[in-house]
Amino acid sequence: MVKKKSDSGKSVYGSTIDNGVASAHTLSILVDNEPGVLARVVGLYSGRGYNIESLTVAETDHANNLSRITIICSGTPMVIEQIKHQLDRLVPVHRVTDLTLQGEHVERELALIKVSSTGEKRIEALRTADIFRARVVDSTHESFVFEVTGSSAKVNAFIELMRGLGMVDVSRTGVAAMSRGTKAI
Amino acid sequence: MHAHRNYVHNEEELQRTSIVQKSRAAFGNPNRLCFLVIYEGKEIMTPPKDQTATKAQTEQDNTVHALPKTRKMTGAQMVMEALAENGVDTIFGYPGGAVLPIYDALHQQKKVKHVLVRHEQGAGHAAEGYARSTGKVGVCLVTSGPGATNVVTALTDALMDSIPMVCITGQVPTFLIGTDAFQEADTTGITRACTKHNYLVRDVNDLARIIHEAFHVARSGRPGPVLIDLPKDVQFAEGPYISKDQAPMHMYQPRTEPDMDLIEEAVELMASAKRPVFYTGGGIINAGPKASEALVKLVRETGFPITSTLMGLGSFPASDKQWLGMLGMHGTYEANWAMHDCDVMICIGARFDDRVTGALKGFSPHSKKIHIDIDPSSINKNVHVDIGIVGDAGKAAEAMLKVWKARGFKADPDAMKTWNAQIDKWRDIKCLQYKNSKDVIKPQYALERLSDAIKKDGRDTFISTEVGQHQMWAAQFLPFEKPNRWLTSGGLGTMGYGLPAAIGAQMAHPDALCIDVAGEASILMNIQELTTAVQYRLPVKIFILNNQWMGMVRQWQELLHGERYSQSYSESLPDFVKLAEAYGGIGLRATTPAELDDVIEKMMKTDKVTIVDVCVDQKENCFPMIPSGKAHNEMILSADPSQYDKKLV
Ligand SMILES: Cc1ncc(C[n+]2csc(CCOP(=O)(O)OP(=O)(O)O)c2C)c(N)n1
Ligand SMILES: [Mg+2]
């Protein structure tokens, strides 16, 4: 899951000596909003054998033609350091910020969940949605579409509960993140 | 279903689609690159401008100074103008449908000379040879589709070896992109992983800026290849030319000044060293001749021994007594052992490649490591270092020298005496020794004779190589005293690199001696470039160490695959003498050691491209060698285990 290099014990040269412990990092990457920029970032991950756990991207500054890419990926401190340097090397990348290292930050994700059920299950789904402060954004006699926002853990928990209540579809945005406090990323 | 409905709902999209379909139908013959566009029922010819207007424009171009700074011109003219403005005097290329407007503009100007290669890979490597031998950005120009895919190997080669290069590829017109048009390839997609950066230019108004930016990106920070994909309609379109000083400053500005606190720390560590070694690489060469000068001063001032990677040869004179020779898989015994046993390693502009480090767990286990690199991602990538400094190799070397002198540091004389004595013991092994023969030419002997002849000749000499045993022997046996004189494919190991690279170097240095040390297998990979050398009267010498085997492959098969020589014999070789003659060059051959000097002397005097077919020992292996997966202290000196300590094999 972490990085292909971890199974490169097969290489006759051995892998880079790295005794660090892998953990997930949230990287915020400010890029020029130009064709191919996402392909460059994603290609870097696949080409160098890193794994992306979550990815969101959208234009965030129209006037300056900038987009923000938020990526969650796991690795030892040395691997994360390498990923950040590799990203920073890309010409359209303006800034790479490691929100996990930078200190406290908030992460939010939005999910749409379709539940198709009737009777008691249907009522239970609605009750659970209420507890999670999920909104009903579409409804038929046999289905609901819920919208839930929150941390990935909360979204996961909600999805787990809905699974037993007739869940037929999930669509998640991936994580958007920002540091706490007054300073901009 | 939904996606389909979306399209139908979008009126604008629908209209655009039908235009494309109409225009595609109008082309009829898919094999014809056609510029007839049907738009709202009317036929439009691009370019709309008539020829006389274009000509007048070009004449104006020759009186640049008198004109206001923004001038209107076609995209194709902009290409030529921007190349000239960026100091380009020579480009290497091959025409085709999608670059014809640029070739037309080329034809009507005098500032930029074009060298017609015979395969686009050749254009790429020639541009690399030109770049490496001059320190300037190499430029190649190729057509869309097959032209672009043919240049991919050279782009990858330039990326791996950090060679500054700008490659311009033609592309089908913007309105045909995505339609599988004739000679369409997703060039920016294909080359995304093998360029430092690439551009697809959709609007002529962006073109001049993008070209200036491409040169900036190619040569800034860690150099590399940059590709500009240029659709044919953009080449025809007219727009304002933006000169270099008008172009906005690009935000890509890599750090070059080293952190002085870290430099101080590094120099203090150096001063405390008992067994120091400099380990330098291609980064010194890329930082320019001044960086080599700074390095030489620093090394002499400290008195430390120095080794270098394959890519760094020439940045420190090989005749100097502090020089240990190249390190790595086929490096010298003294260099690799010094790396293994050192207590302070000063790495400048090298990147701890696996061919250099050997097994990582046994790599220089007792040393503190200083690493200076322009590319932050190179630091701590393969090997953990104690002091990592981001910056230009030359600036860092200068800064270190300044601090060393200012603080009155001296290397510990007792420690250095012991260390140098140890190094001398390693030198005494004479690891490059080989058993010479009276009957058969040993490849090492051929290179020693060549080396002598080069020294006697006295001309500035540029050596390129192909890939294989001959490349390693050339690195071991030829003298490199100055930077930018050694052109070899290090990172990618591209057979077929040497001849076009030598052509590129000879174009830049018409009076110099340019020699491609080749293998008989490698040379056939870009042999067509002989014609290029003939056409431009380039007296490139091709010194083939013909062992009738893919020697390096055969060596590995002998040592590691139970002597099963699968497909490594060079069967059905051409007669290289006749081949040279057939191309209009000169062919020479040496089959015995006695003939060698005479043949080399003749080669030195030829004024045309010359192949020297040196028939060498077929079974000679290249030593010393660190078998893959072994550490520096496990290197072997010969294939015969009885001669050496058993545990070394
Ligand atoms: C394009 C390419 N294909 C394959 C290889 C693998 N390879 C490395 S060395 C070598 C043999 C080269 O033979 P030759 O040019 O005769 O040189 P020698 O080793 O005999 O000196 C081969 C096939 C390569 N480096 N490049
Ligand atoms: Mg050979």
Per-residue pLDDT at A183: 85
> Cβ distance B486 to B313 under 8 Å?
yes
Residues B164-178: tens digit of each pLDDT: 999 999 999 999 999
Q: Is it true that B71-241 and B443-622 share their CATH fold?
A: yes
Rounded Cα distance, A85 and A75, in Å: 14
Residues B331-349: tens digit of each pLDDT: 999 999 999 999 999 999 9
Q: Which CATH architecture has domain B71-241?
A: 3-Layer(aba) Sandwich (3.40)
Q: A69, A102, A135 — which closes off a domain?
A: A102
**Selected residues 197-216 of chain B with any CB under 8 Å from a CB in chain A:** 197-198, 200
Name the pLDDT band for A11 (thresholds 50, 70, 90).
Answer: low
Pair (A81, A114) in one structural domain? no
Q: Is residue A72 part of a domain?
A: yes
Tell whether ipTM is more than 0.90.
no
C-alpha gyration radius of chain A: 20
For residue A109, give the amino acid letter.
Answer: E
- Using DSSP, how many helices (H) and how many strands (E) does chain B show? 26, 22
Per-residue pLDDT at B640: 64
Residue A61 sits in a domain whose CATH number is 3.30.70.260
Per-residue pLDDT at B638: 83
How far is ligand 1, taken at its centre, from the CA of residue B269, in Å? 42
Q: Please compute the mean of the pLDDT values over residues B502-514 and round it to a whole number.
A: 98
Per-residue pLDDT at B2: 35
Q: Which of A62-76, B51-65, B201-215, B242-256 has the lowest mean pLDDT?
A: B51-65
Pair (A85, A22) in one structural domain? yes
Q: Which of A100-104, A123-127, B41-45 has the lowest mean pLDDT?
A: B41-45
What is the model's pTM?
0.89
Average pLDDT, chain A: 91
Pair (A51, A89) in one structural domain? yes
According to CATH, the superfamily of the domain at B260-428 is TPP-binding domain (3.40.50.1220)
Tell me which of A32, A90, A91, A96 to substitute to probe the interface with B (most B C-beta atoms closer than 10 Å): A91
Pair (A147, A84) in one structural domain? no
Pair (A116, A157) in one structural domain? yes
State how many domains chain A has.
Answer: 2
Per-residue pLDDT at B250: 82
Does residue B206 surpass a pLDDT of 80?
yes
Pair (A10, A90) in one structural domain? yes
Is B183 marked active-site?
yes
Per-residue pLDDT at B249: 80
Pair (A109, A98) in one structural domain? no
A141: containing domain:
105-179
Q: Which ligand is nearest to the CA of B153?
A: 1
Please check whether residue B383 touches A, CB under 8 A.
yes
Does residue B26 surpass a pLDDT of 70?
no
Name the pLDDT band for B69 (thresholds 50, 70, 90).
Answer: low
The structural domains of chain B, with segments of one domain joined by +, span 3-65, 71-241, 260-428, 443-622
Per-residue pLDDT at A10: 59
Q: A49, A74, A102 — which closes off a domain?
A: A102
Is B182 marked active-site?
yes
Choose between B610 and B65: higher pLDDT: B610
Please state at what angle helix B498-508 crosses helix B120-134, rounded to 10 degrees: 50
Q: Strands B306-308, B323-326: parallel, antiparallel or unpaired by DSSP? A: parallel
Q: How close A31 comes to chain B (CA, Å)?
A: 11
Choose between A7 and A31: higher pLDDT: A31
Rounded Cα distance, B534 and B609, in Å: 6
Just give the CATH number of B443-622: 3.40.50.970
- Helix, coil or strand: residue B487: strand
For residue A49, give the amino acid letter.
Answer: G
Please check whether residue A10 touches B, CB under 8 A.
no
Pair (A134, A68) in one structural domain? no
Q: Please compute the mean of the pLDDT values over residues A132-142 and round it to a whole number.
A: 97
Rounded Cα distance, B135 and B130, in Å: 8
Residues B99-158: tens digit of each pLDDT: 999 999 999 999 999 999 999 999 999 999 999 999 999 999 999 999 999 999 999 999
Pair (A74, A165) in one structural domain? no
Residues A29-83: tens digit of each pLDDT: 999 999 899 999 999 999 999 999 999 999 999 999 999 999 999 999 999 999 9
Per-residue pLDDT at B592: 98
Residues B251-261: tens digit of each pLDDT: 899 999 999 99
Residues of B in contact with A90 (CB under 8 A): 197
Q: Is residue A166 part of a domain?
A: yes
Pair (A114, A173) in one structural domain? yes
Please check whether residue A181 touches B, CB under 8 A.
no
Per-residue pLDDT at B7: 29
Pair (A11, A56) in one structural domain? yes
Q: A64, A80, A102 — which closes off a domain?
A: A102
Residue A131 sits in a domain whose CATH number is 3.30.70.1150
Helix (H) or strand (E) holding B42: strand B42-45
